[in-house]
Structure 1
Amino acid sequence: MPSTRTAPSGRTVTTALPARLDRLPWSRWHWTIVIGLGTVWILDGLEVTVVGNIASRLSEPGSGLPITSEQVTGIAAALYVAGACSGALFWGRLTDLFGRKKLFMLTLAVYLAATALTAISFDTWWFFLFRFLTGFGIGGEYAAINSAIDELIPSYYRGRVDLIINGSFWLGAIGGSLLSIVALNTDLFPADVGWRLTFALGVVLGLVILLVRRTVPESPRWLLIHGREEDAERIVARVEREVEAETGRALPPPQGEIIINQRRSIGFGEIARTVFTTYRKRTVLGFSLFIGQAFLYNAITFGFGAILTTFFDVPSGNTGYYFAVLAAGNFLGPLLLGKLFDTVGRRVMISSTYLLSGLLLFGTAWLFDRGAVNATTLTACWCAVLFFASAGASSAYLTVSEIFPMETRAMSIAFFYALGTAAGGISGPLLFADLTGTGQVGDTVLAFQVGASLMCAAGLVAAFLAVRAERRSLEDIAAPLTATGAPSRTATA
């Protein structure tokens, strides 16, 4: 029996579609979503790491590009960040207006085209332009992908899946570090070819993802709200049949219905009032989480190579190995702790991962100040910090994608992503470059302490304001703006 009933006007529907999606057991269909949508973060990690590692090669004579190392790590990196921030805001709004699928296909296409054109760079301006456009595409991915994932993954698994997918960035970082070592070996590839091949490999992987992504459907939740309940019903019914055939069992009846007054679009003014007035405590939470993780990560990752070479005489060509170890610690955090965000709960896990990582970084700063670490033990300390910090940082994306109403979801993700990326990619480097670049122990200790302080502050905010969203429907956490009746007490907290 269909769970969607349409009023004679065609503008109001009573439906159990969200509950039907949430009561699905894990299946092959969900794996398709994870592979098709989530693996793009591996490409992002690969992209960012490769560019950082090839900076010295690009500046060498014979690279085929008249550019300096400072231009790669400075201007090109800033343009990538600017592109990501502007792309997130631009594509985020379109994702809420035109749907998740159209945008996660389009943004990946932009990313792939820009990356391919970066690989054939012949002049500095060309490289700069397509670094900006690569960021422009990847910024839009964050809004479109996180929206789709949260709306398609059952509430029982939503936390761990979201954390692991966002944490998979660091798998790409590992690959980027190791790939750079091979690609930059002039015994294997000419100086003007190896760095181009690293970008070309990203394009090949992205094309494979694009093919898989074609099978991922539009979000039924988005279709329902935008007057396409028949399409939403058809998608959910097909998935239910596939799951029942796979498990050999009938699905349990869905629990709960929701009444939706369908609207084609929601005005930007209404979105702003919702985020900054109705849910202002949640907005403070989102600000805190993104700023805290941005500064902690920059306190470590922005100057890690300079710290290793300056204080421990690690050859610059070997820092990629240390970074690969750091990246592994970053991925293991969401992978091993993700389930606890669905069982122990969001408030406890978000606050504890932020506080633990901040306190561990304070401890690392103390050991570094006393001269009690070497390159290996310092890297081990960083791994411990980032094991918890990565789970916390990934939970920031999870948080802002699930605590705001359906109609504002992609724009909310884009807004907080742009904020965090700007803080991490602009303010962070300006501060930490001065501190870690002086060669003075005290300045580097101060950089650690700044990142640790902001991370701990965000953890305290989460202890009081984090929303208990574990295993709850998105509509229960924040009622859609198009839903009739007053939102629940929890949803307006």
Structure 2
Amino acid sequence: MASGVETGRITTSIPARMDRLPWAKWHWIIVLGLGTVWILDGIEVTIVGSLSDALKPEGTGLGLSSSDIGLAGAVYVAGACLGALFFGQLTDRFGRKKLFMLTLGVYLVGTVLTAFSMNPLWYFVCRAITGAGIGGEYAAINSAIDELIPAKYRGRIDIAINGSFWVGAGVGALLTIPLTDKTVIDPEIGWRAAFALGAVLALGVLLVRRNVPESPRWLFIHGREEEAERIVSEIEHTVESESGKKLSTVSDTLTIRQRKTIPLTTIAKTVFTLYPKRTVLCLALFIGQAFLYNAFFFTYGDSLSTFLDVKQTGYYIAAFAASNFVGALLLGSLFDTVGRVKMIAGTYILSGVLLAVAGFMLGDLTALTLTIFGMVIFFFASAGASAAYLTASEVFPMETRALCIAFFYAVGTAVGGISGPLYFGKLIEDASAAKDITGIAPGYFIGAALMVAGGIIAIFLGVHAEGETLENIAKPLTAEDDDGAGGSGHEEPSHQPA
């Protein structure tokens, strides 16, 4: 059968039934099974940054030079970008569950092989594999979470889960303190054990994830409505048993023209032709948060050690990470109550202004005051940055969701993880030579300007998606219009759900 050919038409109430569910223990299984990938990413990024000195010696490490360390970071980022794009389109084509099991498996293999690295080339290849798994996870997981979590809770859960990256960052920072201490553990064993710990956590997640079902929304669009009905009925029975309450009936339905696959050309047209304003919005949000984090976090460790005479940065990074997670956790519910547009614009603009203020005050800050400044800035910025992922995952049609997440993640990660470090690395080098911390201030100002710009764009182009079912925010490409013509109906509003 040709790609994209209609296989049938159904009228379903599944979206309304999923969104009217009260919060129950079943939803925590989804959060634990799918959300912990960000903890893994946080551990990976922090451990690699903290282990750079342990990887340099010939005997106990891999004989890596400083440029090799930088190359390894770029390889990881490139792998994540390519993995997101590759696995993202497979997620939309073959289903959420197949891919979120596969991508976690890729990460698991990559990080285990990293622990057994015997030379630089092996290490680089393993970093690329690990990055590809993490990038693929972002696309598969965000799409699955949004399609399984009720509309009332979608914002806060998505933001808290994305913010859990910083739980991993904090844990990674603290773990590297004993693992890089020669008096505690053999240096060669220490850095290998650090990578192995990520694999142990991933294996536990894999076991929990087996209990997470396929997205019923994906199933009924792809001609598997009977399986979708069975899964939703089982979820409803479980939630009723756990809550002790009888679920209300629903009347809202959706008529779908089923397809086995959706052509990539249709997906591209959707993103850039039908929803150009939302595309601009997502690009602005992802690029802004990528530069913000690199402007501060990429220079943070060097600022502490090079300019402020801090010998052990792990505790400072852990405090910074804690503030990021607490911000996402405490502010997340406001994205569902106060609203997406106000909260995204507010967190972006406020954190951008505060970063600019920090840039002007750099010469007067101590290690403690710089860390406090960073904790305040990123208390707000973390929730905003997480909302960028939330926005990309909910404002485009279901058939394109995973690939859209992958595209914006890849662009933001490439800008922030490749061009950003190159620029900020040069700033650090020049500032170190001049022994003047204010030399990194231009990086702060650029990150601040991009965040403020992202917040302003959100004011004009943001979508009020709070409490709305995904199908109201962006009608599925396969959905029929109310008149049954099934033709247009995908016009893009600037402020209200489609």
Aligned pair partner of 1:388 in 380, 385, 390: 380
Aligned pair partner of 1:350 in 335, 344, 369: 344
Deviations 1:290-324 (A, max 9, x none): 00001111100111111122321222xx1121111
In structure 2, the residue matched to 1:466 is: 462
Aligned pair partner of 2:420 in 425, 428, 434: 428
| SS at 2:184 equivalent | coil
In structure 2, the residue matched to 1:402 is: 394
| Counterpart residue type for residue 94 of structure 2 | F
Distance 1:492 1:470 in 2: 9
Aligned pair partner of 1:414 in 406, 418, 424: 406
In structure 2, the residue matched to 1:329 is: 323
| SS at 1:428 equivalent | helix
The Cα shift of 1:372 comes to 2.7
**1:30-429 residue pairs with structure 2 within 5 A?**
30-72=27-69, 74-315=70-311, 318-368=312-362, 371-429=363-421
The Cα shift of 1:366 comes to 1.7
| SS at 2:53 equivalent | helix
| SS at 2:29 equivalent | helix
Structure 2 residues without counterparts, runs of 5 or longer: 1-5, 482-487
The Cα shift of 1:437 comes to 2.4
| SS at 1:293 equivalent | helix
| TM-score normalised by L of structure 1 | 0.95
**1:481-492 residue pairs with structure 2 within 5 A?**
481-485=477-481, 486-487=488-489, 490=493
Distance 2:15 2:264 in 1: 25
| SS at 1:104 equivalent | helix
| SS at 1:11 equivalent | strand
Distance 1:42 1:139 in 2: 13
| Counterpart residue type for residue 100 of structure 1 | R
The Cα shift of 1:446 comes to 1.1
| SS at 2:333 equivalent | helix
| TM-score normalised by L of structure 2 | 0.94
Structure 1 residues without counterparts, runs of 5 or longer: 1-8
C-alpha contact (below 8 Å) 2:336/2:467 kept by paired residues: yes
Deviations 1:370-421 (A, max 9, x none): x332110011001111111111110000000000000000000000000000
CA root-mean-square deviation = 1.3
Distance 2:341 2:497 in 1: 16
Distance 1:247 1:441 in 2: 56
| Counterpart residue type for residue 66 of structure 1 | G
Distance 2:342 2:223 in 1: 38
The Cα shift of 1:10 comes to 6.5
| SS at 2:262 equivalent | coil
Percent identity, please: 58
| SS at 2:421 equivalent | helix
Distance 1:12 1:155 in 2: 25
| SS at 1:243 equivalent | helix
| Counterpart residue type for residue 420 of structure 1 | G
Flag the 1:336–1:144 CA change in 2: closer, same or farther, 3 A: same
The Cα shift of 1:492 comes to 7.3
In structure 2, the residue matched to 1:11 is: 8
Flag the 1:428–1:10 CA change in 2: closer, same or farther, 3 A: closer
| SS at 1:404 equivalent | coil
The Cα shift of 1:444 comes to 1.2
Are 2:20 and 1:23 aligned? yes
| Counterpart residue type for residue 407 of structure 1 | E
| Counterpart residue type for residue 200 of structure 2 | V
C-alpha contact (below 8 Å) 1:296/1:455 kept by paired residues: yes
Deviations 1:254-303 (A, max 9, x none): 24110000001111111111100100000000000000001111100111
Distance 1:209 1:314 in 2: 36
C-alpha contact (below 8 Å) 1:78/1:426 kept by paired residues: yes
Distance 2:437 2:187 in 1: 36
| Counterpart residue type for residue 452 of structure 2 | C
Distance 1:57 1:340 in 2: 43
The Cα shift of 1:430 comes to 1.2
C-alpha contact (below 8 Å) 1:436/1:447 kept by paired residues: no
Distance 1:444 1:124 in 2: 31
**1:428-467 residue pairs with structure 2 within 5 A?**
428-439=420-431, 440-467=436-463
Distance 1:68 1:176 in 2: 22
| SS at 1:12 equivalent | strand
C-alpha contact (below 8 Å) 1:279/1:492 kept by paired residues: no
Distance 1:356 1:377 in 2: 19
The Cα shift of 1:445 comes to 1.4
C-alpha contact (below 8 Å) 1:354/1:389 kept by paired residues: yes
Flag the 1:186–1:442 CA change in 2: closer, same or farther, 3 A: closer
| Counterpart residue type for residue 222 of structure 1 | W
Deviations 1:219-269 (A, max 9, x none): 000001000000000000001011111122110112411000000111111
Distance 2:66 2:447 in 1: 26
| SS at 2:313 equivalent | helix
